[in-house]
A and B are shown apart, each in its own frame.
Chain A
């Protein structure tokens, strides 16, 4: 079979504009399948598995992150569209959200204040520089908001983005097990805690649990983002 053009065929494949999107979707599908088959073990969450595999893959094949991001940018645009779509489950849970409006707002403020207080005191105690502490404060809100807020209060935006993703992953892995362990069984309660603590990544995990859990996580993510964006610059600048 000397007439087959293996080299140029493979070359054409890996240089195709859709190649990295294809790899990402394929990898995600497989890891999601494994995640579901093995009973949703936190450490096997598809986001975590895909980050590790893609991270090593990019490093091994000498592909820069900038190149990768540019190649899969379409998925990033769709993230915005999917965020807007979260309004639909919220709409369906509106009667329960309205009935629980005051508890939701009180929980929002208690959680937000506890988080800022914890980070500020513990990080100062551990001797972290002030600019890093300021970058830690927006850890529990979704990346685009966190970057804007961190710029505003004088931290490092790129570092804040890393913290946000890391917290999202931690929340996704340990969130539901911790909540169940402390006796938080109501799906709305679990969802709200996931949205408050682990933003969009936690919300994605909550939707794998069920619709109500996801809707409350989306709500939590949205209002925690709003409140942080408005209040942090007010307190820290």
Chain B
């Protein structure tokens, strides 16, 4: 149990370090991107390069912590998401037009991306 806990914390520390690094880079370059997304890209880039040069896999701890953490994404999205309830009155004024735009655009986006990529997949497979 103690060993599992140790591995878990090591992975967690890796993640937090890359999160902070992402935050730092975003501020440094004045990019309008979330620091966490930048952290994800930097981590991916770092270990891809490491794999290409040294033929080394990801640290086991990083893998374990990530696999534990990712299924909780919906829970972690709740603090931001609950804010929608607070803003419902703003939406009432243009409610129907907004609903149409947002639902329409989402369906369009799903269909266009799904079918465009499918077109390439079937062409690649042939």
Contacts and interface: CB of A to CB of B under 8 A. Distances in A.
Contacts of B102: 136, 139, 163, 166-167, 170
Given A76-B80, A80-B19, A170-B103, A118 B108 contact: yes
A188 to B, nearest CB: 8
Contacts of A163: 98, 102
Nearest to B62: A88
Nearest to A196: B113
B32 A111 contact: no
Given A85-B65, A91-B44, A144-B36, A24 B113 contact: no
Contacts of B117: 103-104, 107, 184, 186, 188-189, 192-193
Contacts of A12: none
Interface in B73-93: 73-87, 90-91
Contacts of B113: 107, 110-111, 192-193, 196-197, 220
Given A84-B39, A207-B73, A91 B47 contact: yes
A84 B91 contact: no
A208 B75 CA distance: 13
Given A51-B81, A106-B120, A178-B110, A128 B72 contact: no
A107 B83 contact: no
Nearest to B107: A178
A41 interface: no
Contact of B106 (A90, A167, A190): A167
A80 B39 contact: yes
Given A59-B85, A159-B90, A167-B106, A222 B37 contact: yes
A200 B78 CA distance: 12
A213 interface: no
A193 B111 CA distance: 8
B85 A65 contact: yes
Contact of B91 (A142, A162, A203): A162
Q: Say whether chain A's binding surface is mostly helix, strand, loop, or mixed.
A: helix
B33 interface: yes
B40 A174 contact: no
23 contacts: A50-B78, A51-B78, A54-B78, A76-B76, A80-B19, A84-B19, A87-B41, A88-B70, A89-B70, A111-B112, A111-B116, A119-B101, A122-B100, A132-B94, A132-B98, A159-B87, A163-B98, A170-B102, A182-B114, A192-B113, A204-B74, A222-B37, A226-B41
Q: Which 6 A-B pairs have the closest CB atoms?
A: A103-B120, A55-B85, A148-B32, A144-B34, A204-B73, A85-B66
Interface of B: 12, 15-16, 18-19, 22, 31-37, 39-41, 43-44, 47-48, 58, 62-63, 65-67, 69-87, 90-91, 94, 97-98, 100-118, 120-121, 124
